[in-house]
Copies of this chain bind each other. A is one copy, B any other.
Amino acid sequence: MTRGAPAATATKSTAYLLSNVAKILAVDRSKEIEDAVSILTAAKKLFVYGVGRSGLAARAFAMRMVQLGLDCYFIGETITPVVGDGDAVLIVSNTGSTMSAIQVANIARRVGAKVISVTGHRTSKLAHASNVVLLIQSNGDASQARLAPLGTLFEAATVLLLDGLVAQVMERLGQTEADMRGRHAIMV
């Protein structure tokens, strides 16, 4: 790296992420988002699931659902009640082929729960098992491998898409930021 351009790759990487995430999110998903919000706000209990960095994006979403007053759980953590009829499960998986993600979706459907998936592949087994698919197609160009390696683009787009979903659920439920702050967990 030249002294004249310190940290140039970091800057290029964030710019690359911002412009590509903007493109991905510009796709019209209003129908799917409407459906997802209806499912999320009508469910008795919510569950979220994901593995690796996808699981982190899912957890970030789950925390907001709890702050919005919904009963929401992350599958695989200590505290997870059983999924049942009338519940909803949101699953994040880029490939849509992670075995545990497919299994969670199948179990959920079998017991009568609705499944919303955030995935990069419309023809994946996960997508097929879902009631609503939020598709995040993140095919980058030649510089992706260097500026946004592996699933980085999918994950960043998922974080922002789900934060958009939070705002929509918040509006639907008539919740304010102050309401959410009042439900904020102890942070020690």
Contacts and interface: CB of A to CB of B under 8 A. Distances in A.
A25 B186 CA distance: 29
7 contacts: A7-B31, A7-B37, A51-B187, A62-B78, A66-B80, A80-B186, A81-B185
> What 4 pairs across the A-B complex have the smallest Cβ distances?
A13-B167, A7-B33, A10-B164, A80-B185
A168 B80 contact: no
Interface in A153-188: 155-156, 159-161, 163-168, 170-172, 176-177, 180-188
Given A56-B59, A63-B78, A186 B83 contact: yes
Contact of A160 (B17, B103, B104): B17
Interface in A125-155: 145-150, 152, 155
A98 interface: yes
B18 A160 contact: yes
Given A10-B168, A13-B167, A170-B149, A81 B66 contact: yes
Contact of A150 (B31, B104, B164, B181): B181
A10 B165 CA distance: 5
Contacts of A180: 149-150
Interface residues of A, number: 83
Contacts of A150: 67, 177, 180-181, 184
B60 A56 contact: yes
A7 B36 CA distance: 10
A85 interface: no
